[in-house]
Amino acid sequence: MAINKNPTSVSLGSDDKAVFGKNLGFAASEAYRLLRTNLMFSLPTDAEHKCRVIGLTSANAGEGKSTTALNLAYMLAEAHQQTILVEADMRLPTISKRLGLKQSPGLSNVLVGLTSKVIAQPSGIEDLLKVISSGDIPPNPSELLGSAKMKTLIDVLSKNADFIVLDLPPINEVADALVVSQFVDGMLMIVRQGYASRHAVIEAMKQLEHANAKVLGFVVTGSENFVKGKYKYKKYGKYGKYGKYGKYGHSHSYGYAQAVAEENSGQVDIEL
């Protein structure tokens, strides 16, 4: 069992969904910096492992994982860490749109074998932060994310970055985050206060446990403590009852008619 027995969390405010980067308020910025510091200490580097790969997911959709991924990546870059943010939620991508970046070609186009070059676009909000967009929405995201080519891509990106941050779909909706967990150094679980049920979070944790994923901790969004200018650590198992959410969006086969992903890892070029 690779799950942290006593994971901790950082609390973020309920009004932070629409803002990112330099537009963050003081309390939000400090909370993200605390998260950044915790990650740096929990994932030390050595001569053979200089790049840290982190996946962000949630139990259900709508908990703020994409916003958290974007702001965490921004804060890492702000600390002089060469950071690549990967929009790996290919079913409901939002990051490239929010940053005004091209969505395609992107991650899916590389994984499906339509191109061997992945472009890490400048984020436009921090010089050391680059973004790999989701690409066209494929019909089989889980298969692509669990493929040997995804492993090769992460290996290549690791040679060009200090941190790789992956925005992944919610665990209780689709299997994407679970199949990617084998390629990352650790997972962060995003939980929105007053939204995700305790049962949903526990179910997501069980699935991560079965996948032998390493859970680094929790990030609690929508916290009242944050709104008052405070943030604190919490232990798993103290979540109250929350509202339910509708079914997560399904993928479409835009631009993928008869395209099939290559079975071998192949060569993946990167443009920085």
Backbone angles phi, psi at 72, to 5 degrees: -65, -45
Torsion of CA 20, 25, 30, 36, to 10 degrees: 0
Give CATH for domain 3-243.
3.40.50.300
Beta-bridge partner residues of 130: 84, 122
Q: Which residues contact 96 (CB under 8 A, 6 or more apart)?
A: 87, 102, 103, 106, 121, 131, 133, 134
Identify whether the C-beta of residue 86 lies closer than 8 Å to the C-beta of residue 39: no
Distances from the Cα of 251 to the Cα of 111, 143, 168, 174, angstroms: 15, 12, 14, 11
Instruction: Give the pairing type, strands 3-11 and 186-192.
Output: unpaired
Sorted by where each begins, the domain ranges of the chain are 3-243
Closest by CA position to 53, among listed 183, 167, 218, 177: 183
Mutual angle of helices 26-42 and 65-78, in 10-degree steps:
80
pTM, 2 dp: 0.80
Question: How does pLDDT run along the chain (272 residues), one tens digit per residue?
Answer: 233 334 445 545 443 345 677 778 888 889 999 999 999 988 888 777 889 999 999 999 999 999 999 999 999 999 999 999 999 999 999 999 999 999 989 999 999 988 888 899 999 999 999 999 999 999 999 999 999 999 999 999 999 999 999 999 999 999 999 999 999 999 999 999 989 899 999 999 999 999 999 999 999 998 755 444 433 334 333 323 323 333 444 444 444 433 433 444 455 567 65
Q: How many whole angstroms separate alpha carbon 70 and alpha carbon 254?
A: 25
